[in-house]
Amino acid sequence: MRFLKFQGLFTVLMILVIGACNRSARVLKSPPGYNFSKPVVSKLDLKIREISGIVWDSKNDVILAVNDEKGILFALDKETKIITAEYKFGDAGDYEDVALYNGVPYILRSDGQIIKIIRDDSDGTVRGLDADKIGLTGTNDFETMYTDTARKALIVLCKNCVSDNKKSVSAYAYYPERGGFDSKPVYTIDADIVDQMAAQKSSKFQPSAAAIHPIQKKLYILSSASSQLAIADLNGHVEAVYRLTPKLFTQPEGITFNKSGDLYISNESTTKATLMKFDYTHPSDTAQKAMGKAAYDFTKPSDKMELGDHLHEISGMAFIPEEKIILAENDEKGNIFKVDFANKKSDPADKLKFGGKGDYEDIVHLGNEDYMLVSTGSVLKVEASDGSAETEQFDLGISGNNEFEAMYLDADGKSIILLCKECAHEKKDQIRHAYRFNPDTKAFDGEAAYVIDINAVRAKLNDDNPDFEFKPSAAGINPVDGKLYIVASVGKLLVVASATGTVEQVYRLDPTMYNQPEGLTFAPNGDLYISNEGGEGIATILKFELKK
């Protein structure tokens, strides 16, 4: 009996040891351009151990910080992080964040009151002036405020507001130039999306600090309560969520960037607060080192075309050599448009309507026919006849929920290849399947044409992140070298492979240039065209000339 008890205890201990090893081996996933495992950590003066908000003051080249309970604004030396100045603006209170608007500091109190910091030019004294308070009924809690120069506003995010439910986080705009709050939310963050994107379950997403990245133009939002960093567009649409390890991010309540994009995050503490700096490496800097091997310089397009509203959600392209134009289609509408890239023209009225609303992801032109990819894995044949279109649909017929975004004409010039973005039967394996459709027989091959090894993509990047993703959004065969080029909007990658999917080269794409790359096509001379959906901006087509 004693042996059995010991054996049971030994088993439990082994499980704990193995689990601890697995946790220690887990790689911390970091936002693009940063390495969260290599911070520069500075311990701060005890006066600001309850540091609750920070902002980079580029004019004076210092970091401004506010303490949770003291009505004092502190200036920190950018290198040593030593306090260089203290500005008393009010009595003891619950001050949660600081932001700069036109060089003037504004302080956020937890009840939604904004305090403007005023300096008397005659004697240099500083005082706080109540600017405005959010007009919400009930008990509300705020910890986050940041400057949005495009809106000419300070944006305040709810931590806990009566008007919000468990699935929403509201943002309110204060306009310093006209001195008042907007009564309605300027946008709302969907907390359910945060949960879906999170690597593991946590408590509700409750913003504790936020700032706009000066280069990426993305909103970085900290949530100390749930140990998360969310990245969103400037309208609060969440695009990525990162877990913050409690050992490093003990109580993250402040975030700011310098002009170069270096990231600063502050942690409150019962002993000594810390300020962490994460150096920013621009994706194009890394990509530029690899450009010597590439047939294209993906950091510098040779030409660019901005598209109108009719192609705002452009999701696929096909180059037509005889006419020297590009055929393009919109993600949600059954229309095919002509794009004259050379002359930067695309007439919204000049279109071929082939169907109603749908989810059309790519296009292939073959002979006198066009083939459309439906996201579920169907191919729709479109044949123009007297200004109208006749269609015929062919289904791949694999079970489960499947998603496709990439389709291209194979090197034989006769068959069409569909690439899984994410298919049901791939969940257990780190691969992406390719399926061949034969227009002559109007049938799919019974077996996959080839598979792409996701681990091979990751290996080319030396990325050992277990959460690494590769989801093809467009593809095409280069007519000059015969290589398969695949772009992935998720993760911003461009993969060069053999025609049968053997990965040869992988490049990271700058998200500021490739905001949502979902279309790819080649001209006969090898010039490459990549399209970006508009999202919150303008849809574009980028041209890359083949290196001579």
442 in the same domain as 391: yes
Domain closes at, from 228, 255, 280: 280
258 and 168 together in one domain: yes
Residue from 268, 249, 373, 306 nearest 53 by CA? 268
Last residue of a domain, one of 254, 280, 306: 280
Q: Can you give the pLDDT at residue 17?
A: 37
What pLDDT score was predicted for residue 21? 38
Q: What DSSP string describes 124-172?
A: --EEEEEEEE----S--EEEEEEEETTTTEEEEEEEE-TT--TTEEEEE
**Does 18 fall in a domain?**
no
Write down the pLDDT at residue 16: 37
**Amino acid sitting at position 409:** L
- Residue 443's Cβ-count burial label (10 Å; 0-12, 13-18, 19+) is exposed
The pLDDT value given to residue 356: 83
Q: What angle do CA 156, 231, 74 make, to 5 degrees?
A: 50
Q: Which residue has the tokens 């500021």?
A: 512
Q: According to the model, what pLDDT value does residue 429 have? A: 81
Are 230 and 88 part of one and the same domain? yes
Do 440 and 491 meet the contact criterion of CB atoms below 8 Å apart? no
CATH of the domain at 446: 2.120.10.30
Quote the CA–CA distance of 107 and 129 in Å, as a whole number: 10
- Asked if residue 297 and residue 275 are part of one domain, the reply reads no
User: How many domains does the chain contain in total?
Assistant: 2
Q: How many CB atoms lie within 10 A of CB 476?
A: 27
Residue 434: inside a domain: yes
State which residues form the domain around 421.
284-544
pLDDT at residue 216 in the model = 86
Tokens of 495: 């993969």
Same domain, 339 and 394: yes
Examine the domain organization and report whether 131 and 169 are in the same domain.
yes
402: in domain: yes
What is the reported pLDDT for 293? 63
pLDDT tens-digit profile of 475-505? Answer: 999 999 899 999 999 989 999 999 999 999 9
Question: Is residue 234 classed exposed, middle or buried when 0-12, 13-18 and 19+ CB atoms within 10 A define those classes?
Answer: middle
The token pair that represents 83 in the structure block: 């306090």
Q: Which two tokens stand for residue 97?
A: 């964040």
Is residue 27 domain-resident?
A: no
- Regarding whether 290 and 270 lie in a shared domain, the answer is no
Same structural domain, 186 and 324? no
Over residues 499-529, the pLDDT tens digits come to: 999 999 999 999 889 999 999 999 999 999 9
**Which among 227, 185, 220, 188 has a CA at the least distance from the CA of 205?**
227
Beta strand pairing status for 180-181 and 168-175?
A: antiparallel
CA–CA separation, 438 vs 414, rounded Å?
7
Q: What is the pLDDT of residue 23?
A: 33
Residue pair 280/261 in contact by the 8 Å Cβ criterion: yes
Q: Which residues of the chain have pLDDT under 70?
A: 1-28, 283-293
27/463 Cα distance (integer angstroms): 10
Query: Of 220, 252, 280, at which residue does a domain stop?
Result: 280
Residue 89 lies in a domain: yes
Looking at the structure, do residues 445 and 533 belong to the same domain, yes or no? yes
| Closest to 59 in 3D by CA, of 93, 104, 23 | 104
Instruction: Give the pLDDT of residue 215.
Output: 87
Please tell me the predicted confidence (pLDDT) of residue 348. Answer: 93
For residue 68, tell me if it sits in a domain: yes
Does residue 289 form part of some domain?
yes
3-state secondary structure of 72: strand
Q: Are residues 136 and 45 in the same domain?
A: yes
- Contact yes or no for 226/204 (Cβ under 8 A): yes
Within this chain, do residues 316 and 344 fall inside the same structural domain, yes or no? Answer: yes
Residue 313 has a pLDDT of 93
Same domain membership, residue 165 and residue 290: no
Is residue 253, in this structure, part of any structural domain at all?
yes
Residues 6+ apart with CB under 8 A from 517: 473, 474, 487, 488, 489, 492, 509, 530, 531, 532
Residues 306, 412: Cα–Cα separation, whole Å: 33
Amino acid (one-letter) located at 469: E
Residue 449's pLDDT is: 95
